Every structure is written in structure tokens, then in C-alpha cells.
Amino acid sequence: MSTLVSNEIALEPEDNKRLSSLCGPFDDNIKQIERRLGVEITYRNNAFKVLGDAQQANGAAELLKLLYIETQPVKGVIPSLSSEQVHLAIQEARCLEREESSPYAKEVTIKTKRGVIKPRNPNQGQYVANIVNHDISFGIGPAGTGKTYLAVACAVDALERQEIRRILLTRPAVEAGEKLGFLPGDLSQKVDPYLRPLYDALFEMLGFEKVEKLIERNVIEVAPLAYMRGRTLNDAFIILDESQNTTVEQMKMFLTRIGFNSKAVITGDITQVDLPRGVRSGLRHSIDVLNKVPDISFNFFTANDVVRHPVVARIVQAYEAYDAEQEKLRLAKKEEALRENAQANQSNNDENKNNSSS
């Protein structure tokens, strides 16, 4: 049985406006921390008291201190803490001790309009470390785990450090169960809708104007996967997004395009394949074929790594539980069919023996 402890802290300097921003409207931020960490928080002015399990209470106290730092005035204006910021801070608070002893949080630090980009949990940290230390890295897992966003961050970081000369973004142009028909415009305009998540990440990190200039100079190149055949990509950082929609042949073709001083990151979610029925996903196949090849890393994310709205993690968990239950039923039916076949074969053998003896 866990022991309840009371952790008392004072947030300095005392500032009513900053404290109001920290607590949120109607104490919504405090309630979110209480609900997610299983603690009870009371406060008066800048004196806060956290009651709960020792580890959770200490974590919540540290979290309050970190969030209070986020309320520091910017050009005289005190920023309002959003529920999204609190959610992400809670994700970080779960691994504060590991961050202090692990360098993963320092692997990629890029200043953007929204602040500094860094891993939010140990699995993301390992993913970033693998990208830095391996020529080819796979990020596999559900939506919202930061696979694509962190890959783009690593690419931007490498470009800023002049470790590479260009960034190449690609994705198979597969429709998600819908028939959109022929899209108007040139190649770039046809492909843009499929690569919008990659564009959004780049715009956030570098700004719209800089991204446009880099695209004009071909420092950043966006192309459908089909246009990779026959190329050799040197001094480049290549990101293949939505790779679960590649065929086995496409995945092999892509992986053999990588040249000297290049890195490749392949991201995808094997539970959301949009390929025609009967066509095997190149991502699934590559897991089986390449999992023991040196200089290739695999990172598998779970619902616990989701850094979007908390309900997204619960949705992913619900689907995983349903799939696991269906797999159990399928195996049970298969075992029952095998038993019935074995019994039928035994009956036939017995009948044949009886006929022979008579």
C-alpha cells in the first residue's frame, strides 16, 4: 500500500496574474493535473500543497514549478497556459528523473515561434537518439506520438548545422479509402495535399517565407515516392511518411536510393494501411526483413507515447484492446477447426482399420 505524503511549495516571485495563468480559468489547469496524476492540490496565494503518493506528489510539485516558469512575462505580457501546454508538461513530468540522467532531451533543440522542440517522453528520446546515431531509422506507432514531427525537427537541425545539403520529403500518394479523382494543377499542387503534415511541421519550425525560399532553391524537395526510382540521394536527410502504404517493392526501391552522408527516417502506422486488399505493406515486410541489420534502428510507439489530446491515447488503447480480442477469437476458432479435423481424421482411420479387419 502506497504512503500518502504532503508536499508544500511556494512559487516565487509572488504574482497574482501569473498565478491566475498557472491555475487557469476556474482552476481548470489544477484540476487537470489532479486528475492525471492522482493527487490533491490546494493553494492560498503562492503557497501550494500537494497531497498524494510520494512519487506523484513530488512530480506534481515539480510540474507546478515548471509551469510557473512558463508564465514569465514576454515583453510585459503574461502568457496564458493552455490545456495543451499542461498536457505536454504532464507527459514530461512522468520522466523527469530519467531526463536528468539521460542526454536524449538535448539531442535536438530547435528554437521556433512556439519555443524549443525536444522529446516529450523516453520513447521519443530514444527515437531521436536513434535518428542521430543511425543511417536509417524506423518510427512505427499510432497517430499523435510525434513520429513525423520529430523526424522533421531532426532534419531541420541537421540542415542548420550544415551536416546535410538538402531535405527530401516523400510519401506514397495513396487515398485513405476515398476516390478523389484527378487533382488539378502541376505535380507539386497534386502532391501537396498528401504531404500537408510535413509542410505544417516545416512552416512551424522555419517560418513560411524561409520554407518557400528553400523549396525554390531545391534545398527542400517534396516529391511522391514514385519519383524516387533511379535516383541516388547523397548529403540528404530523407523522410518517408505514411510508409505503411508502400508496397514491398516500393519500400525496397526507397531504401536502396540512400547515398553517402545521408540519413533516412521512415514513419508509419501498421494499423492504418490503405493499400488494396491482398497487397502486403512494405513497412510490415521491412520489420521482418531488416530488424537485425546493423545501422538500422526500429522504434515502436504505443498509446502511452501519444502527446495529443488525452482522449487520443484512450482511442488508440480501445482499438488495440479490440484488435487483441479479435485475434484471440481468430486463434480460438483456428484451434477448434484443427481439433475437429484431427477428430475426423482419427474417425476415418478407425473406420478404415475396421473395414480392413473385416
pLDDT tens profile 53-66: 888 888 889 899 99
pLDDT score of 265? 95
Report the amino acid identity of residue 36: R
Query: Nearest 10 degrees: CA dihedral of 10, 12, 16, 22?
Result: -70
Burial of 122 (0-12, 13-18, 19+ CB in 10 A): middle
Q: How far apart are CA 276 and CA 281, in angstroms?
A: 10
Chain centre distance of CA 128: 11
> With 70 as the cut, is the pLDDT of residue 307 above it?
no
pLDDT score of 299? 92
pLDDT score of 189? 60
Query: In 3-state terms, what secondary structure has residue 350?
Result: helix
Rounded average pLDDT over 57-80: 89
Question: What is the enclosing helix (H) or strand (E) of 239?
Answer: strand 236-240
Residues 72 and 62 sit within 8 Å (Cβ to Cβ): no
Please indicate, yes or no, whether the overall pTM of this predicted structure exceeds 0.85.
no
**Lowest mean per-residue pLDDT among 59-68, 70-79, 210-219, 321-330:** 321-330
At 27, list the grid cell.
Answer: 482552476
> With 70 as the cut, is the pLDDT of residue 181 above it?
no
> With 70 as the cut, is the pLDDT of residue 1 above it?
no
> Over pLDDT 90: what percentage of the chain?
24
Pair type for strands 236-240 and 47-53: unpaired
User: Which of 23-27, 82-86, 194-198 reaches the highest mean pLDDT?
Assistant: 23-27
Q: How far apart are CA 242 and CA 184, in angstroms?
A: 23
Q: Mean pLDDT of all residues in the chain?
A: 81
The CA-atom distances, in angstroms, between 10 and each of 69, 108, 315 are 13, 32, 37
pLDDT score of 89? 82
263 - beta bridge partners? 237
Q: How far apart are CA 138 and CA 131, in angstroms?
A: 9
pLDDT score of 339? 85
DSSP of 5-70, one letter per residue? EEEEEE-SS--HHHHHHHH-GGGHHHHHHHHHHT-EEEEETTEEEEEEEHHHHHHHHHHHHHHHHH
Question: What one-character DSSP code corresponds to residue 81?
Answer: P
Length reported for the chain = 358
Maximum Cα interatomic distance, the chain, rounded to a whole number of Å:
104
Question: What is the enclosing helix (H) or strand (E) of 264?
Answer: strand 263-268
pLDDT score of 103? 47
pLDDT tier at 85 (50, 70, 90 boundaries)? confident
Question: Residue written as cell 521519443?
Answer: 124
> With 50 as the cut, is the pLDDT of residue 319 above it?
yes
Strand spans (E) along 102-227: 110-112, 115-117, 136-140, 166-171, 220-224
Pair type for strands 115-117 and 110-112: antiparallel
- Planar angle of CA 88, 94, 97, nearest 5 degrees: 125
